[in-house]
A and B are shown apart, each in its own frame.
Chain A
Amino acid sequence: MTTLWTTPIDWETQDAITAEKLNAISDNLQYLMTPNFGVATMRGTGSNQTTASGTFVDLDPATYSLDVELTGLRAVKFSLLGIITHSVGGSSVRFDVLIDGTTYLSSLTATPLVNGVSVLTLPAGELPTVYFEVIVPAGVIAAGRRNFRPVWSTTAATATWYEISSSFSQFRAGEY
């Protein structure tokens, strides 16, 4: 079970020092050591993903969909690292993150920014690594269990995200 943060006690003179109060300190220490976040890593054991969609669609929900319980009291960090390519030179690939299936990270609304949180224009056939990192201040995303999924789109033709045996990829979301 995930340990969650509780607001530290304001101690008063002659308060009883109980096991429960001391354990609350222990739980908070443990939470600070390992705040809630999820990491999905592919070490060359997946299948390449493709999209020809001009609007954002899931990158690979079976792999990268993360459920994370948030306290709502700490900043939330998102990062995505992986290798992409495109069948048509000069085409762009865009990335965003969908929160709870309804809200895009780029806009924090139901309508994403056109270029999401990251965009890259590629020469045909090249396979560079892409990486983005976004931090959302504490309190913006409400406390509770949240679902985070990377989504992507392309301006033309077909983009490919590499998960086959040659490639490493990683999606991370949570408090830090």
Chain B
Amino acid sequence: MALLWTTPEIWVAKEPITKERLTAIETNLSYLHAPTREIITLSTGSNQTFTSTSYVDLDPTNYDLSIEITGDAPLLVELEGVISNSTLAALTYLDVMIDNLNYLSSFTVTPVTNGLWRASAFVANHLVPVNLKAYVPAGTLAAGVHTFKPKIKVSAGTTTWYENAYWSQFSVGE
């Protein structure tokens, strides 16, 4: 279980230095040394295929993350992997849904059309890397537990997200 951060004290002259207050410093040091981050890494899974033109889960069995955050630090959301599309010039879009409600691209229930990441199939079936990193400023999300799900859609053809013998990773953390 992650140690959670508490706002550092503002000390006043002649206040008692208690073990609780010193422990709070130690706890914060531990949090800074290992801030909250959840990471899913796959290389031996099953490839995922998609033909939906509206957002669907990328791989809910593996990539759905639940993480407790302090809300006091910025969040970094990262998705890395490899895709291809069977149709020349077809587009693949990626976004991340927060708390089963809002898209990270817009912070509303309606994502921006191009999502967080848009990839074109310059050549049909050629592999294209995805290297998506998006920051969420401190205070944007309230302290507590939040869920994060990568979402995917296509404009045409079939997009494959490679998990079998390809490296992929989804992570969220402060």
Question: B32 to chain A: which residues have CB within 8 Å?
Answer: 29, 32-33
A133-B78 Cα distance, complex, nearest whole Å: 12
Question: A23 to chain B: which residues have CB within 8 Å?
Answer: 9-11
Residues of A in contact with B (beta carbons under 8 Å apart) = 17-19, 22-23, 25-27, 29-30, 32-34, 37, 39, 41, 43-44, 79, 81, 83, 123, 126-129, 131, 133, 162, 165-168, 170, 172
A128-B131 Cα distance, complex, nearest whole Å: 12
- Interface membership of B8, Cβ < 8 A: yes
Q: Produce 1/0 per residue, B4-39, CB < 8 A to A.
A: 010111111111010000000100110110000000
23 intermolecular pairs with C-beta atoms under 8 Å apart: A18-B13, A19-B13, A25-B8, A26-B11, A29-B29, A30-B8, A33-B28, A33-B31, A34-B72, A34-B73, A41-B135, A43-B105, A43-B106, A44-B112, A44-B113, A83-B114, A126-B122, A128-B120, A131-B133, A165-B113, A168-B105, A168-B114, A170-B134
* Nearest CB on B from A29, distance (A): 5
Q: Which size bracket describes the interface of B in this complex?
A: 35 or more
* Cross-chain contact B106 with A44 (CB below 8 angstroms): yes
* Chain A minimum-CB-distance residue to B25: A25
* Cross-chain contact B9 with A26 (CB below 8 angstroms): yes
A83-B14 Cα distance, complex, nearest whole Å: 57
* Cross-chain contact A26 with B114 (CB below 8 angstroms): no
Q: Produce 1/0 per residue, B124-150, CB < 8 A to A.
A: 000000011111011000000000000
A52-B155 Cα distance, complex, nearest whole Å: 29
A96-B27 Cα distance, complex, nearest whole Å: 40
Besides A25-B25, A44-B106, A168-B105, 9 other A-B contacts (C-beta < 8 A): A19-B11, A19-B12, A33-B31, A81-B134, A127-B114, A129-B114, A129-B117, A168-B112, A170-B134
A23-B7 Cα distance, complex, nearest whole Å: 12
- Interface membership of B89, Cβ < 8 A: yes
* Cross-chain contact B72 with A83 (CB below 8 angstroms): no
- Interface membership of B167, Cβ < 8 A: no
* Cross-chain contact B120 with A127 (CB below 8 angstroms): yes
* Cross-chain contact A129 with B118 (CB below 8 angstroms): yes
Question: A79 to chain B: which residues have CB within 8 Å?
Answer: 133, 135
* Cross-chain contact A26 with B10 (CB below 8 angstroms): yes
